[in-house]
């Protein structure tokens, strides 16, 4: 029988796949842990009048920091406290309006057990996430969420791998359950992320980026095509609004309309713009989100949009380049 020898690259792929499969099994095992204890933990967190304080040592501490950050960014104010520092003054950061989430795979982390009596004295709800339901921490908790795993992905069974993944996933389950229960919206999320692309997409209004005043390309409805071409060239938006004597939008003339003019060999110096402009054109409102305008333009395959008030008075213009500069696209 021929012995099959794996190459080094095949062996590395096999090892990597084994880790992923082990951690997938650990995550799958969490399905049965979404139980009454999970619901009780969510209720404590929903009723919290202060902040959610997450504590954990070592790798559990790193996971705790991420869980706190996820909670904070999804509508549940939270922060991480290092349990070692807590026993040297940082415990003062916890008030009796808060809820504590303590992470410890063993449930016997000495730094957490040291401050446990003080947490209990404050009378704050304690939610524990451990891999040992019979541990000291689990037994002292108001709600214990079991995040135990069958085995670590580490072949030595020493490095926290599957156990930290399970804790992280359970933390996400808590955070997103709270998000849904509170009716937290995408705009709420953007308010805590104003500096990122998401914030720009969700918070930026058309009024923040549109061209206004003399920068809006505009001609009256008695203009010739040549007048429109001059205006388009001067303003550089690839189109011009067409308005009546009262400033109401009656149409738009775009680069696409110009191509039709050229195809028909029309004399631009004698032909009325009204014969080739697009009437009943799409318009936007200044209070609309820039992301909404982008969706509107993409849906109708247009590169520019006129912005009007409720009376169809022209007040602005925006094109795809404006959205690109604003980071919306």
Residue 69's Cβ-count burial label (10 Å; 0-12, 13-18, 19+) is: middle
Q: What is the pLDDT of residue 294?
A: 87
Strands (DSSP E) contained in the chain are 52-56, 78-81, 99-104, 126-130, 143-146, 218-220, 239-243, 249-254, 283-284, 304-308, 314-319
For residue 74, is it within any domain? yes
> Given phi > 0 = left and psi -120 to 50 = alpha, else beta, which region is 296?
alpha
Secondary structure of residue 248 in the 3-state scheme: strand
Distance between CA 41 and CA 174 in Å, rounded? 8
Share of residues in the chain with pLDDT > 90 (%): 57
- Asked, for residue 3, whether it belongs to a domain, the answer is no
**CATH (domain of 26):** 3.40.50.10490
Residue 139 lies in a domain: yes
Q: Are residues 246 and 285 in the same domain?
A: yes
Q: Which tens digit of pLDDT belongs to each residue from 84-99?
A: 888 777 888 899 999 9
Residue 132 has pLDDT above 90, yes or no: yes
Average pLDDT over residues 226-251: 91
Query: What is the mean predicted confidence (pLDDT) over 239-243?
Result: 92
What residues make up the domain containing 52? 8-184
**Structurally, how many domains does the chain consist of?**
2
104 Cβ contact partners less than 8 Å away, ≥ 6 residues apart: 56, 57, 60, 112, 128, 129, 130, 135, 137
Residues 170, 240 share a domain: no
Q: Are residues 55 and 109 in the same domain?
A: yes
The mean-pLDDT minimum among 57-71, 127-141, 177-191 falls in: 177-191
Average pLDDT over residues 282-310: 89
Q: Strands across the sheet with 304-308, in order?
A: 283-284, 304-308, 314-319
127 with 218, same domain: the answer is no
35 & 173 share domain: yes
Q: Is 1 helix (H, G, I), strand (E, B) or coil?
A: coil
Helix (H) or strand (E) holding 124: none
Of 183, 156, 225, give the one whose Cα is nearest residue 74: 183
Among residues 154, 184, 214, which one ends one of the domains?
Answer: 184
Task: Report which of residues 288 and 62 the model is more confident about.
Answer: 62
pLDDT attached to residue 202: 65
Partners of 313 in the β-ladder: 248
Same domain, 93 and 16: yes
Does residue 201 lie within any of the structural domains? no
- At residue 187, the pLDDT reads 65
pLDDT in tens, 172-221: 999 999 988 888 766 666 666 555 666 666 677 889 889 999 999 999 98
Q: Is the pLDDT of residue 234 over 90?
A: yes
Name the residue with higher pLDDT: 89 or 128: 128
In a domain, 249, yes or no: yes
Residues 6+ apart with CB under 8 A from 167: 60, 63, 67, 103, 105, 129, 147
- Is residue 35 located within the same domain as residue 154? yes
167 and 212, same domain (yes or no):
no
Same domain, 224 and 158: no
Q: Quick check: is 1 in a domain?
A: no
Boundary residue ending a domain (120, 150, 184): 184
Residue 276 lies in a domain: yes
Q: Domain containing 233 — which CATH number? A: 3.10.580.10
pLDDT at residue number 47: 94
The token pair at 328 is 């919306």
Output the pLDDT for position 250. Answer: 92
24/146 same-domain check: yes
Dihedral of CA atoms 202, 203, 205, 210 in degrees, nearest 10, equals -80
Decide the pairing of beta strands 78-81 and 52-56. parallel
232 and 166 together in one domain: no
pLDDT for res 51: 95
Q: Within a domain: residue 286? A: yes
Q: What is the mean pLDDT of residues 230-244?
A: 92
219 lies in the same domain as 127: no
Phi-psi map region of 302: left, alpha, beta (phi>0 left; psi -120 to 50 alpha): beta
User: What tokens appear for 327 in the block?
Assistant: 């980071």
For the question of whether the overall pTM of this predicted structure is more than 0.75, the answer is no
Average pLDDT, the chain: 89
């Amino acid at each position: 029988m021929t012995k099959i020898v794996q190459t080094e690259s095949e062996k590395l792929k096999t090892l990597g796949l084994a880790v992923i499969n082990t951690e997938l099994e650990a995550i799958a095992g969490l399905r049965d842990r979404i139980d009454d204890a999970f619901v009780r933990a969510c209720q404590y967190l929903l009723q919290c009048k202060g902040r959610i304080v997450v504590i954990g040592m070592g790798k559990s501490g790193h996971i705790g920091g991420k869980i706190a950050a996820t909670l904070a960014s999804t509508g549940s104010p939270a922060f991480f406290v290092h349990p070692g520092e807590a026993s040297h003054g940082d415990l003062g950061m916890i008030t009796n309006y808060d809820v504590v989430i303590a992470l410890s795979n063993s449930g016997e982390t000495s730094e957490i057990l040291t401050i446990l009596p003080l947490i209990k004295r404050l009378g704050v709800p304690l939610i524990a996430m451990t891999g040992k339901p019979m541990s000291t921490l689990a037994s002292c908790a108001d709600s214990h969420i079991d995040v135990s795993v069958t085995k670590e992905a580490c072949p030595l069974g020493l490095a926290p791998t599957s156990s930290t993944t399970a804790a992280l996933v359970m933390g996400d389950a808590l955070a997103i359950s709270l998000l849904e229960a509170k009716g937290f919206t995408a705009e709420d999320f953007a308010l805590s992320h104003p500096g990122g692309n998401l914030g720009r997409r969700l918070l930026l209004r058309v009024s923040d980026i549109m061209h206004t005043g003399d920068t809006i390309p505009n001609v009256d409805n008695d203009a010739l095509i040549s007048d429109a071409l001059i205006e388009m060239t001067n303003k550089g938006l690839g189109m011009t609004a067409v308005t009546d004597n009262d400033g109401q939008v009656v149409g738009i003339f775009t680069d696409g309309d110009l191509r039709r003019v050229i195809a028909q060999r029309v004399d631009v110096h004698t032909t009325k713009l009204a014969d080739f402009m697009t009437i009943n054109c799409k318009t936007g409102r200044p209070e609309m989100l820039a992301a909404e305008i982008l969706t509107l333009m993409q849906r109708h395959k247009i590169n520019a949009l006129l912005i009007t008030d409720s009376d169809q008075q022209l007040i602005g213009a925006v094109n795809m380049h404006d959205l690109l500069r604003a980071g919306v696209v």
